[in-house]
A and B are shown apart, each in its own frame.
Chain A
Amino acid sequence: MKMVSAALALMLAGTWPTLAQEVAKAPPPGAFKAVSSLVKLPDFLPGMGQLFVDPATLPAGPFLAYDHDGKLVSTIYMLPIKDLNPNKRFDDLASPGGNVDHVSVYYNAGHPGVEEPHVHVVLWHVAKADEARVAK
C-alpha cells in the first residue's frame, strides 16, 4: 500500500526516477550484486571503488563503481583481450550511470570474476580531480 502511494505521489509530481538517479547511490537496484559477494575480492578496490555487477552480464558488465560514501563515480566495462577479434563484438552494453565526464581505457591482468587479461573501459561520471575519491 505504501509503495503504491509512493509511486502515485511520484507520478503526480511527474518525476519518475531516471535510470541515473536509481543507480546514483549504492547499492544499485535490480540484479546488481556487490562483486565482493560474488567472487573473492576486496570490497573496495583501490583505483576503482566498490563494484556492483549483474552476474548475467559478465564479463563485460557494466560494473558500477561507488566511492566510500556510496556515490556513483564510474561505469566500467571489462572486455577480455581474446574477445577483441574479428569474430566478436560487444553491442548494446547498458550504461545506466548518466552523464560521462571523461573516459579511461587500460589493460588489466585479470582478477576473480574476469580471470584473464582484459581491458577496462571506464566511463567517469565525476571530474578528473574526483577520481581521487576511489584512489584508496
Chain B
Amino acid sequence: MLFFPQARATGNDIIDVEMHGKDDGAHVWFDPAGIHVEPGQTVRWTNRDPGNSHTVTSYHPDVFDRPLRIPANAKPWNSDYLLPGQSFSVTLTVPGVYDYYCVPHEHAGMVGRIVVGTPQPVAPSAVDPSLTPLPDVALNGFPPVDEIIAKGIVRRV
C-alpha cells in the first residue's frame, strides 16, 4: 500500500461506483469514472439515478460481440439493467485495465475504467471486423491509465 500514498481506493474490500443522471436524462455518468484497486478487491456499482436504468457491462467478445478491453484471462460481466437503488458487484483478481460501459448510454459516453494492481503494457490486438467497435464518444470517455494510477480516483463530474 505504501507504494500508492494518494487517494487510492484501498483499505476497504468494497469500492463503490455510482450511476448518476441529470433529472431530464440529458447527462449520465459513472462516478468515479476511473478507479485504481488491488487484485482481489470488489467493485460495487449502484444506480443512484431515480429516473433511469443503467447497466455496467465489460467490453468483451462474449458480451454483445464487443472488442476485448479487459485482461485476456479475466471473466467478463454484464449486470443487465439496474433499477434505481439496485447494485451489482464484481471481484477483480487479474491485474490489468478493465473498460466497461452502460448499454443504453454508451453512445452518450457513459463508460468507466478500472485499473487493477500494476498492469503490464498490452500490445493492442488486431481489429476483428465481426466485433462492434466503440463509438468515439466512448473512446474519449476513459480516463488515462496513468492518471488513474497517479490519483487513485478520477471523477468526471
B residues 9-28 touching A (CB-CB < 8 Å)? 21, 23-28
Main secondary structure of the interface of B (DSSP, over half): loop
Mask: chain A, 19-43; 1 = CB below 8 Å from B; 0 = not? 0000000000000000000011110
Tell me the minimal C-beta distance from B61 to chain A in angstroms: 20
Interface contacts (Cβ under 8 Å), in number, total 62
Q: Are B50 and A106 in contact (CB under 8 A)?
A: no
Task: Assess whether A42 is in contact with B84, with CB atoms less than 8 Å apart.
Answer: yes
Distance in Å from the Cβ of B157 to the closest Cβ of chain A? 15
B112: min CB distance to chain A, Å? 15
With contact pairs A47-B24, A106-B24, A107-B26 given, residues A112 and B81 touching in the complex (Cβ less than 8 Å): yes
Q: Within 8 Å of chain A (Cβ to Cβ): is B108?
A: yes
Q: Name the contact of A47 in the complex, choosing from B23, B28, B84, B105 (C-beta under 8 A).
A: B23
Task: Please indicate which of the listed interface residues B23, B80, B107 has the most CB atoms of chain A within 10 Å of its own CB.
Answer: B107
Q: How would you classify the secondary structure of chain A's contact residues: helix, strand, loop or mixed?
A: loop
Q: With A47-B24, A109-B110 given, is the CB distance from A115 to B104 under 8 Å?
A: yes
**Chain A's nearest CB lies how many Å from the CB of B78?**
13
Contact of A117 among B21, B84, B103, B107 (CB under 8 A): B107
Please tell me the size bucket of the interface on B.
Answer: 20 to 34
Q: Cβ of B23: which chain A residues have Cβ within 8 Å of it?
A: 46-47
B83 beta carbon closer than 8 Å to chain A: yes
Chain B positions within 8 Å of A117 at CB level: 107-108
Whether B81 lies near A40 (C-beta < 8 A) is yes
User: Is B21 touching A42 in the complex (CB atoms < 8 A)?
Assistant: no
Q: Is there an interface contact between B25 and A108, defined as CB atoms closer than 8 Å?
A: yes
Task: Evaluate whether A109 and B50 lie within 8 angstroms (CB atoms) in the complex, with A42-B83, A115-B103, A115-B104 already known.
Answer: no
Partner of A110, one of B81, B83, B105: B105
